[in-house]
Chains A and B, each alone.
Chain A
Amino acid sequence: MEELLNNYTSVFPDTATSWVKVGHTSDFPENGGACVKHGKLQIAVFNFSLTSKWYACQNLCPHKLEMVLSRGMTGDADGIPKVACPLHKKTFSLEDGSNLNGESYQIATYPVKIQDNMVYIGFSDK
């Protein structure tokens, strides 16, 4: 399973080489998340309708390596948008993927674009 982790590296708006359409905005629950598939990758997409922002990260929780983050509760800590893993409530920043519990593992994040009510995720596929 460890090798699964290596599939996920953060992508930033300026390093994205392709923008992949993953669904209609209404496919994603407001102030919650859902999972999309891109090739081998599972990406968790979060719709923060309270702040009109969207975030995406790996669906894989780095703590126990299970594909569950999209099912986690979202929220913020000191204004930083975050997701809490449904298994052990480890929390991660959705802005930079950092671990908010002070542990060393973190998650990869991906940029999200909304155009004509469609949701696009930025990847840098080689």
Chain B
Amino acid sequence: MKKVIVIGNGMVGYKFCEKLAAHPDFEAFQVVVFGEEPRPAYDRVHLSEYFSDKTADQLLLAGRDWYASKGIALHTSELVTAIDLEAKTVTTHKQAVYEYDNLILATGSAPFVPPIKGADKKGVFVYRTIEDLDAMKAYAAKLKSGAKAAVLGGGLLGLEAANAAKELGLEAHVIEFAPRLMPRQLDDAASAMLQAKIESLGIGIHLSKATQQIAGDEAIARMEFADDTHLDVDMLIISAGIRPRDELARACGIQVGARGGIVVNEKMKTSDPHVFAIGEVALYNDGIYGLVAPGYEMADVAVHQLTDGSKSMAASIDMSTQLKLIGTEVASFGDPFIENEEVAAITYVNKRSGIYKRINVARDGSRLYGGILVGDSSDYNSLFQIYYNAMKLPQNPEDLILGSRGGDSNILGSVLDLPDTAQICSCESVSKGSICKSIEEGTCSDLKDVIKCTKATTGCGGCKPMVVDLVNETLKSLGKEVKDTVCEHFKYNRQELYDLVKIKQIKTFEEALARLGSGCGCEICKPVMASIFSSVYMDTANKQPVIQDSNDRFLANIQRNGTYSVVPRVAGGEISPEKLIVLGEVAKKYNLYTKITGGQRIDLFGARLHELPLIWKELIEAGFESGHAYGKSLRTVKSCVGSTWCRYGMHESVSFAIEIENRYRGLRSPHKLKGGVSGCIRECAEARGKDFGLIAVDGGWNLYVCGNGGATPKHAILLAEQLDDATCIKYLDRFLMFYIRTAGPLVRTAPWLEKLDGGIEYLKQVVIEDSLGIAEELETEMQGLVNKYECEWKQAIEDPKLASRFKHFVNSDDVDDTLEFVSLRDQKMPRPW
């Protein structure tokens, strides 16, 4: 057995273990790993997520059981204090001595703290480990609300840290010495674009600032700059670069660079033939590489050097990077700055959308040298491949960032045009060839297999769209059909299932599984089928509760702590004082948090499962009905007061909104549906931000369709003009039914229209001109659904069998005693996660 000791259990140290454990010769090795941190290696790239949605355990690259299962001895919280190159041993702070045949130094780096007066004050932190974050969190919790945090350093990590400070609820500021953000990756114009985006999120940016002193009594209170300006802050996070942790190597006589870092050759060997160095501590070709991808590459090289010797490091290391910083896409590849006699830059600046693109192209058009993308990095993978593989450029290289204007061919070409050597996943260094081969040779048959066997996409995940395309294209080229099936249980897409259910008159999920599918179903196909049954037969969610999505099953919206919110229908947003009083009284009686929704309704939060039927009994007795806020169904039709009150109103928008909402209430669809009716072009109901919207004009209503708010806002597009009430309803019936029949699961009207061949013109032909000859059928179907409407909450409370699902325990009348609430502005809210 060959004894290998790894000092350092960070991302690269772990990657070394992972690669060695996967090597066929692994059995010949006995591996011992030392990490000074208390926990096994975790994902530092996504460290700021520790403040938003990930726990320390979720950030782990592998749990302790993984190391145990591979027979790797992992010593955490154990610091190696000395290396004896002669005796080939290491000594730890516990005075334990271990022998090695080969030593791997993966000690990483430490944050560089510039020698600024006052840097030792309370409230000054560095940003590297989970312990650093815990300390920041504890300190921030003690600060008054509205406290300010500054980040020293506007590089990649500094911006991440600023985001983390923002997640902590602090007012964040970034202070950078250079005149621009991310000075190693971005040029001035790109930095300006990124700055504008970040500032719009409330983060302050201060460039060209040399910090002279950190002032304050015991704790930091302000930062003073060389230009005699200052910034009052309550906390400071220093992110001013890294210094390699080379002290162990230095002490035992291994060669280190003048400015730090352990000198290695292309085999990752140090000056001692038995010792390797990898990751941020390694000084290769006079450079330290603070990115994950080169670190992983080094780990791979070291593994190969220990085993078959088949791999060494490339002479130049690619520092291309693509990431999402504070919600903004940023990418930089190749040489982002080069511009000279041979190379010209082509730039595209769109200040309206916050997009900046730059490519550096040989003046003779022969090749791409590098570039920068801010605001939209969707073309990064293709551009990177063209650069990295020195591929041929289109005749007009600007088409690479502007798209081909005129023809409709995809200028970036098909993924299959890439050479086999093209690196698709740079984190795991997976080439196009190995992805395609895994499918062609039959080792893998789908995306899941490919990810499992090549590990592509498991790093930063940026290459996922490309891997998906490659897998699909390769399968197609082998004559295998690639279908957008719902899931493993049904080999059909939603539209096919809809048609099959209707034609074969399938009535239950079990019957559908037996006749069209296999297995037990899952959380993907069950809600899809439930929605189809509802759209075909107007089944309420009470008919087959267990196949409903989480919310529909209990006819309420599940919230953070497992309690529910209750939203009765308030059609058109019109409500009488009597009904308002009922809502208030019910909320008071059950101690519910109340809030006005965006859809002009009132939401009552914090109801326990068993209280739902009790609450609804009272609401229904007072004349309310379900608002279907929990369903992929019609939510609300928002209205402005219209001509009844408004002195500008042209038509009665409230009356029409109520009529429409009551017509389509309970209608289930592929995704939620929202409507709006405005009484004049001032558009106070925001009807164009809805799936369907009506705006009163001289001579009738203008009908707009396929808009939405949310993550990808879209204004609805004009379908028809100056319609009377009846024609409006007719077109709406046709439009909605056509959408319900043909859209994929969880596809809202806007993306559905985007994918519809022929777009809005085609939709106009179908809805207005009846080009498919189905208009009457669509109207009849819709009328059938409208006639069958029943309030599902009324059903649920009237039938004791249906009501039994609202009991928390089957075998006890106790309530869940683990629920905790805290108070917030005189109301209650869930205990935070």
Contact = CB atoms under 8 A, between A and B. Distances in A.
Contacts of B509: 31
Contacts of A67: 562, 816, 818-819
B522 A76 contact: yes
A104 B65 CA distance: 10
Nearest to B524: A75
Contacts of A68: 558, 562
Given A37-B812, A64-B833, A73-B549, A29 B60 contact: no
Contacts of B60: 104
A24 B25 CA distance: 55
Contacts of A84: 522-523
Interface in B541-583: 545-547, 549-551, 553-554, 558, 560-562
Contacts of B547: 31, 73
Contacts of A23: 810-811
Interface string B795-823: 00000000001011111101010110000
B526 interface: yes
B545 A104 contact: no
5 contacts: A29-B805, A31-B520, A36-B810, A51-B520, A81-B520
B810 A28 contact: yes
A34 interface: yes
B355 to A, nearest CB: 32
A4 B818 contact: yes
A71 B550 contact: yes
B585 interface: no
B92 interface: no
B359 to A, nearest CB: 36
Given A27-B810, A82-B522, A104-B60, A73 B488 contact: no
B811 A36 contact: yes
Interface in A22-61: 22-23, 27-32, 34-37, 42, 45, 48, 50-51
A60 to B, nearest CB: 8
B443 interface: no
Contacts of A4: 818
Nearest to B814: A37
A86 interface: yes
A34 B810 contact: yes
B306 interface: no
Contacts of A35: 808-810
B488 to A, nearest CB: 7
B151 to A, nearest CB: 29
Contact of A77 (B522, B549, B816): B522
Contacts of B57: 104-105
Given A37-B812, A48-B520, A77 B488 contact: yes
B488 A32 contact: no
B513 interface: yes
B571 to A, nearest CB: 29
Contacts of A51: 520
Interface in B212-234: none
A84 B550 CA distance: 9
Most buried by B among A23, A45, A66: A66
Contacts of B831: 1
A67 B819 CA distance: 8
Contacts of B759: none
Given A31-B546, A73-B549, A105-B58, A45 B810 contact: yes
A97 interface: no
Contacts of A66: 560-562
A70 B816 CA distance: 13
A35 B816 CA distance: 10
A31 B526 CA distance: 11
Nearest to A34: B810
Given A22-B811, A73-B526, A78 B549 contact: no
Contacts of B807: 34
A19 to B, nearest CB: 14
Interface residues of B, number: 43
A103 B558 CA distance: 23
B519 interface: yes
A74 interface: yes
Contacts of A72: 523, 550
A91 interface: yes
A24 to B, nearest CB: 9
A32 B814 contact: no
Contacts of B488: 77-78
Nearest to B561: A66
Contact of A36 (B549, B551, B805, B809): B809
B521 interface: yes
A76 B60 CA distance: 27
A50 B523 contact: no
Contacts of B758: none
Most buried by A among B523, B545, B831: B523
Contacts of A87: 550, 558, 560, 562
B399 interface: no
Given A31-B547, A71-B562, 16 more contacts: A29-B545, A31-B520, A32-B546, A36-B809, A42-B809, A67-B562, A68-B562, A73-B526, A73-B527, A75-B519, A75-B526, A76-B520, A77-B522, A82-B522, A86-B558, A104-B57
Contact of A50 (B520, B562, B814): B520
Most buried by A among B488, B549, B818: B818
A55 B488 CA distance: 22
Interface string B322-357: 000000000000000000000000000000000000
B232 to A, nearest CB: 37
B523 A75 contact: yes
Contact of A37 (B58, B549, B811): B811
B272 interface: no
B63 interface: yes
B510 interface: yes
The 10 closest A-B pairs by CB, nearest first: A32-B546, A75-B522, A86-B550, A84-B523, A73-B523, A76-B520, A66-B562, A68-B562, A37-B812, A37-B809
A77 to B, nearest CB: 6
Contacts of A86: 550-551, 553, 558
Contacts of B523: 72-73, 75, 84, 89, 91
Interface in B654-668: none
Contacts of B546: 29-32, 73-74
Contacts of A64: 560, 833
Interface in A67-111: 67-68, 71-79, 81-82, 84, 86-87, 89, 91, 103-105
Contacts of B809: 35-37, 42
Contacts of A89: 523
Contacts of A37: 809, 811-812, 814
A74 B513 CA distance: 14
Given A50-B510, A67-B562, A32 B545 contact: yes
A37 B60 CA distance: 33
A74 B60 CA distance: 28
Interface string B473-514: 000000000000000110000000000000000000110010
Nearest to B65: A104
A86 to B, nearest CB: 3
B565 to A, nearest CB: 14
B611 to A, nearest CB: 15
B415 to A, nearest CB: 25
Nearest to B527: A73
B364 to A, nearest CB: 48
A78 B553 CA distance: 25
Nearest to A51: B520
